[in-house]
Structure 1
Amino acid sequence: MIRRGSLLERSLLLKFMQRTYQDLFPNEDFSHLEQTVKQYFSSDTPLWWVEEDGEQGSNKKSLSSAPLPLCPYAPHPPIACLWVGNAIDQVHGNRHAHIFILYVVPEHRRRGIGTALMRYVENWAVQRGDRQIGLQVFQSNKPALNLYNQLGYQTQSIWMVKFLSAENKLKDSDNIL
């Protein structure tokens, strides 16, 4: 069952974000993610939780249902989450949905929850008039890449990084003088 998250669930969202990154990078510290949640989590960036199908409450619907209105925190621990923000297509200038996080706890993976959440957010985005959904995925996250490829997502750009050190800065500044 899926339910819309509340702004009161900031700490739970943070825990899910930290779990996501710790799964991929187990020896890293992700305390900085608190700033990401603080900066971007708002009523304009919806959050959905998936809970096990125990009881049929009035504030819960199946994943195939239309998007839900905001509802209060439920007492059952979630098994997955989906947090979505907004982005601007730099080519055409259109606003579109951007997936900040899609996470399914390991013991509930490979049961179709990720696929169902992606279809759910696609329906939500179409209903609000979006023409595309964007997301970032680490190249090493093969299960996520497989899911997105199976759902028709395509690489539009490649995000490149170069790690800099203070040592490089000193050498570069010496050359400028």
Structure 2
Amino acid sequence: MSEQLLPGYIIRRGSLLERSLLLKFIQRTYQDLFPDEDFSHLEQTVKQYFSSDTPLWWVEEEGEQGAGSREQGSNKESLSSAPLPLCPSAPIACLWVGNAIDQVHGNRHAHIFILYVVPEHRRRGIGTALMRYVENWAFQRGDRQIGLQVFQSNKPALNLYNQLGYQTQSLWMVKFLSAEK
């Protein structure tokens, strides 16, 4: 089942059979930000978290839907870290959502694992429409907040989330440890 997201674009619910396509989108997300890194380890993230409890949505150009639903999710494909092909019938955006627990109040809430729009379709309102879509979905299921993580270097994403009213609630801090002291 699909519905119009924006004029010219439809959104459809993904299936568990689209694991390899999801992996390609996640790898491409990180490759855009860190082009010199190897992201083959992301396969484990998808294996661990992608389930019927973590919904996935695809955005396709209207009249072009169907390519993603033919994805078979073979293990050979999921090991590939090749860039996502940009054929006209491929999904042009994805949204994958999980569940988290608010550590202050103990309430379940939606957590966005990935929101990605291929570069050729950016700045057309797709990201904003996807965020509004997931906000409505989360509200309807009883969530009172949505969480997400964004890299400080990803200025376009930070701008989008700020414009939509998202606020920094905590900072994720890391310290890299070396073997030498």
TM-score higher than 0.5 here? yes
Structure 2 spans left out of the alignment, 5+ residues: 1-9, 65-71
Report 1:75-90 matches (<5 A): 78-90=91-103
Structure 1 spans left out of the alignment, 5+ residues: 168-177
* Alpha-carbon distance change, 70 to 2 in structure 1, aligned in 2, over 3 angstroms: farther
Are the equivalent residues in 1 in contact too, given 2:43–2:79 (CA < 8 A)?
no
TM-score (norm 1): 0.82
* Alpha-carbon distance change, 54 to 25 in structure 1, aligned in 2, over 3 angstroms: same
In 1, the alpha carbon distance for the partners of 2:22 and 2:80 equals: 23
In 1, the alpha carbon distance for the partners of 2:74 and 2:179 equals: 56
Q: Which has the higher strand share?
A: 2
Q: Structure 1 residue 151: deviation in Å?
A: 0.2
Counterpart position of 1:50 = 59
Give the paired residue count.
164
Counterpart position of 2:87 = 71
Are the equivalent residues in 2 in contact too, given 1:6–1:71 (CA < 8 A)?
no
RMSD over aligned Cα atoms: 8.2
Residue 37 of structure 1 aligns to a residue whose secondary structure is helix
Q: Percent identity?
A: 95
Give the number of the structure whose alpha-carbon radius of gyration is greater: 1
* Alpha-carbon distance change, 58 to 151 in structure 1, aligned in 2, over 3 angstroms: farther
The superposition leaves residues 63-101 of structure 1 with CA deviations (integer Å, 9 ceiling, x where unpaired) of 999999999999xxx000000000000000000000000
Are the equivalent residues in 2 in contact too, given 1:63–1:116 (CA < 8 A)?
no
TM-score (norm 2): 0.80
The superposition leaves residues 99-139 of structure 1 with CA deviations (integer Å, 9 ceiling, x where unpaired) of 00000000000000000000000000000000000000000
In 1, the alpha carbon distance for the partners of 2:133 and 2:58 equals: 12
Q: Structure 1 residue 61: deviation in Å?
A: 28
